[in-house]
Structure 1
Amino acid sequence: MSENFLNIGEILQSLRVNKGIALEELAEDICSVEELDLMEKNKQVPTIDQLFMLANKLNVKLSDFFDFTSADSASYVSAVSGLINKYKRERNYKAIDEIVQREKVNPLFNFPSSQQFLLWNEAICLYYLSEPQIRDKETSVKMLNEALDITNPLRKGLSEREIEIKMSIAIIEKDHMNFEGAITILKEILEDIDKFPALAEPQIRLRALFGLSQSLSRLNKFEESLIYSEKGIKQCINDEVLYLLGEFLYQSASNNLALDNKKLGIDYLNKALNIFKLQENHAFSNFVENELEKLSKE
């Protein structure tokens, strides 16, 4: 990545000086003054989200930092995609929508795969930026299906990205309380995933398992939900990842408690608590501690 940032410092310093902005002012809420000074001297590479925030403060486009006459065009699309994915993990849909709306008119995003990526994320933002009671599920799902149509209108032999778009449909159905619909799609996704010899992004399967476990629990199908939460726990352990492990452990605890397996439920809650504390997830760890305290008084 550093090769694509060779002139970033020079451009950054030139824009800042021309706009009469002090180092301290530009660095505020983004990085330290020392870090910004090193960036301007090309001795430190800014992260893509730092660059995005700096561009906003300088009132320029992120693309102004890239040379479109070379292979940096592809680097720019990749960088923007990476930034959107970062914000998606943080559920910062407002930031995603701002990027999508700006890049929709960028010629660099005229290729089918890039158009698909923007449409996919635009559909997600449309749904989650609305108030829960007025969310337009139908339009969002329609847009996600249109995104799939760009590369796979027959829905045969889905790629990993296409599976992820399909996953977005399932999650929106789940969040819209259409649990039966979500379960149907998520089971199809697991079948699609099983056709891959290996996944570049194994977390896709974990998200499908977790969505299934959640949806089944909401329909009081606790025994079936438990099957999928246990599969999730097993995959996390086998893959040696913490991603969703705490959530799967909590899901198994909840299912066992609903099935009157109190001792097992408490055991899973304690395991979930340990994971959330390890991850410094204070909101979840406090929630589980409260659940354990209530159970100790019963």
Structure 2
Amino acid sequence: MALYSKIIGTGSYLPAQRVTNADLAAQLAAKGIETSDEWIVSRSGISARHFAAADEKSSDLAANAAKKALEMARLAPNDIDLIIVASSTPDFFGSFPSTACIVQQKLGITNNGAAVDVQAVCSGFVYALSTADAFIRAGVHKNVLVIGSEVFSRILNFNDRTTCVLFGDGAGAVVVTGSDEPGILATALHADGSHSGILCMPNSFGGATAGEAYLYMDGPAVFKLAVSVLEKVAHEALNKAGMTAAQIDWLVPHQANIRIMNGTAKKMGLPLDKMVVTVDQHGNTSAASIPLALDAAVRDGRIKNGHNVMMEGVGGGFTWGAVLATMSGLPDTL
């Protein structure tokens, strides 16, 4: 039984269609809705996002990101014995079959390993990575593919400028394997269902659909709660590992809003140059945002073996969590 799990590969995928703030402002102006690049950037830090093509599904984005992670990990698809996909925008209404099963098929995996979806909205990747860590430490699985994949453009109300300018589509993936050397050091997960109404898609399913099939967000309430819980959960993970914030080399937060991200870093006493920021280029991609940012920093050489990385996120539910990892399984050359 492995004492630890470690990340040995990362990958990401963004759809080809890049939509700048100017592009979106023009689209909204045609509806009589006023916005601008300055308005969006000043409130979120977002300059652009990517939207999936009409024929692209979450599983397509996920499979593309997974292939890159497998390539970096130097593993074949059939080496994977568990796939966990975090997504709020699955391929199928009702969420079955799971997007993870569709990804398994698209990767050509034929070993009958397990595949399952996880739903914790923007915290989904942290929940999924924590689950992979637990399965590996328990000796149940050896090589786990963890993916966050979203096509949020399908659930945006383009008559609501307070939400439609914030989100984008994309996927990020990591390969996690068992190890005798430290990798994932600590995890911490939480939820508080009493806040379920501040970030949700308020249509319901009880034999029939009812309500609006668009994302709803109480921005001020989400902002206040996010800033409150992110610092606490990061310190909880650090305490479990017997570490302090000063030992963090990189903070990789959920890429939701630059003001939330900066506020969290400052509360933790971390300089902003230790925080990986990609929200400006792909917006809030929900469960995909952390692995997208992680992959970007691994591939450009910022995150290296030996670095301590704090990944954390908040999402509808209300959910939040953190994963603290020492990078120890990345290839020396990419």
TM-score by length of 1: 0.28
Tell me: higher relative CO, structure 1 or 2? Use CA pairs within 8 A at least 6 residues apart. Answer: 2
Larger Rg: 1
